[in-house]
Structure 1
């Protein structure tokens, strides 16, 4: 039996994924680029996500994309915990968007040994960036509705 070769990330593929995520995420950003600014994203009549700017710098922006419970009952049943929640860093000069945290897991490494105690995939960083891309594609296909959040 031959050993499976160790996963090696392909940088051009990863950068292409981050470029596509940046292009899809840009139309969802709030018009005002100020820390704390929020945007509500309606994917369908029952699914809403909040996009919040956490950090705004000249060349980068960090934002959080988190689900909102559709009803009070959903909030009680911890519905948002089942949905993806991302922290994303946008690199404006390079036009890249990279997930820096998913479901509260920060500091994603490019490659993980497998098996590991946390049951992470060898390409976990690539997988969460693909998940963001899939979510953004769903928003576009469903006809997302960016709506300002009234504070």
Structure 2
């Protein structure tokens, strides 16, 4: 039986991904940096996402990205992203109900996470940001 080599994260590749995500997400943030401020991003007539500032500090900001259109979908994507302004990095810290991803998961595991789950969830953010840049537009920011 051929054994698969263990996953070894490549830090420069991951940091590059986080840098690109920061650059793309930064332009979608609400103009106000106060907690509760949000911006709407409309992808289709029925798919509207809300980017809400959850925490704001001098060097970091945590935002929540969630589908906020009025229709109920089977899958309601939602994730929190931590932005590190001094390093210009954006990292997903929560996706759906899972918090704090580790660099490498043993496989198999109880949560059925992939060995590179942290990288995969940040690639999902990259794909969502690419979709926004191709067909989304920002509505007026909303302050709650």
Q: TM-score range by the shorter chain?
A: over 0.9
Unpaired runs of at least 5, structure 1: none
Gaps of 5+ in 2: none
User: 1:69-101: per-residue Cα shift (whole Å, max 9, x none)?
Assistant: 333xx2xxxx1x614211000000111000000
Could you tell me how far 1:143 is from its partner in structure 2? 3.4
> 2:41, 2:50 within 8 Å by CA — same for their partners in 1?
yes
Structure 2 match to 1:147: 140
Q: Kindly indicate whether the alpha-carbon contact (under 8 Å) linking 2:40 and 2:48 is maintained by their aligned counterparts in 1.
A: yes
SS at match of 1:132: helix
Contact 1:44 1:144 in 2 (8 A): no
Please state which structure has a larger fraction of its residues in helix. Answer: 1
Number of corresponding residues? 144
Deviation sequence 1:6-33 (CA, Å, 0-9, x none) = 1010000000000010011011011110
- Please list, as runs of the form range in 1=range in 2, the aligned pairs for 1:1-151 lying within 5 A after superposition: 1-71=1-71, 74=72, 79=73, 82-149=75-142, 151=144
1:2 to partner: Cα distance: 3.0
TM-score under structure 2 length normalisation: 0.94
C-alpha RMSD over aligned residues? 1.3
- SS of residue in 2 equivalent to 1:28: coil
Deviation at 1:150, TM superposition (A): 5.9
**Alpha-carbon deviations, 1:16-56, whole Å to 9, x = none?**
00001001101101111001111111112111011110110
- Give the TM-score taking structure 1 as reference length: 0.90
